[in-house]
């Protein structure tokens, strides 16, 4: 039995269609995990949800329309290799503020640890508090488990690449920015 199912990158409920451009074929369990964490959220809501509480604090994901990305960086630019100094400072600051605001919202009882940076990426084996984040009880084990089902222990550029090629509306580009 083939367990791959269609994932509509721009959800049908948000005006997406069943065109080839808007359809990715994904493992059924990954699709279920996507809906546990992100449901039918628009791309900006998804990025906000990833930037806090899941993402490595040394990075932030920036979202741009594909049209704006092409105007700013050209058709040959790779979104995974755009340097921080090439990002509009106002846009960068906006996403940082959005993450901080979401972090303030999350100030409720905590229950499960999520390593923002996978342990294998640490150069030294030691506990670094700023790279651990307790995920709130409401979202706890189910969302944490779903995150790892979707992204396993990928680094931030790999996560951005998956978002750009599999998960998010193809009219948007995700840029991972190392802070």
User: Could you report the per-residue pLDDT of 106-142, keeping only the tens digit for each?
Assistant: 555 455 555 555 555 555 444 444 444 554 445 467 8
**Which structural domain range is residue 116 located in?**
4-178
pLDDT confidence of residue 125: 41
- The tally of domains found in the chain comes to 1
For residues 75 and 72, give the distance between their C-alpha atoms in angstroms, rounded to a whole number: 9
pLDDT tens-digit map of 15-51: 999 999 999 999 999 999 999 999 999 999 999 999 9
Asked if 48 contacts 102 with a C-beta cutoff of 8 angstroms, the reply is yes
What number is the average pLDDT over the span 92-114? 73
Are the CB atoms for 112 and 135 separated by under 8 Å?
A: yes
Token pair, residue 147, equals 């995150």
pTM of the model: 0.81
């Amino acid at each position: 039995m083939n367990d791959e199912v269609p994932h509509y990158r721009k959800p049908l409920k948000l005006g997406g269609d069943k065109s080839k451009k808007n359809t990715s074929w994904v493992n059924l369990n990954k699709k279920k995990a996507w809906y546990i964490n992100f449901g039918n959220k628009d791309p900006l809501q998804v990025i906000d949800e990833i930037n806090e509480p899941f993402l490595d604090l040394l990075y932030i994901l920036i979202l741009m329309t594909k049209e704006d990305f092409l105007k700013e960086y050209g058709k040959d630019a790779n979104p995974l290799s755009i340097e921080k100094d090439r990002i509009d400072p106002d846009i960068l600051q906006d996403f940082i503020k959005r993450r901080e605001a979401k972090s303030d919202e999350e100030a409720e009882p905590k229950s499960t640890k999520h390593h923002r940076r996978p342990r294998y990426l640490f150069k030294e084996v030691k506990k670094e508090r700023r790279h651990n984040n307790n995920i709130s009880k409401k979202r706890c084990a189910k969302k944490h488990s779903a995150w790892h089902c979707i992204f396993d222990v990928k680094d931030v550029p790999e996560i951005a690449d998956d978002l750009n090629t599999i998960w998010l509306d193809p009219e948007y580009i995700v840029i991972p920015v190392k802070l």
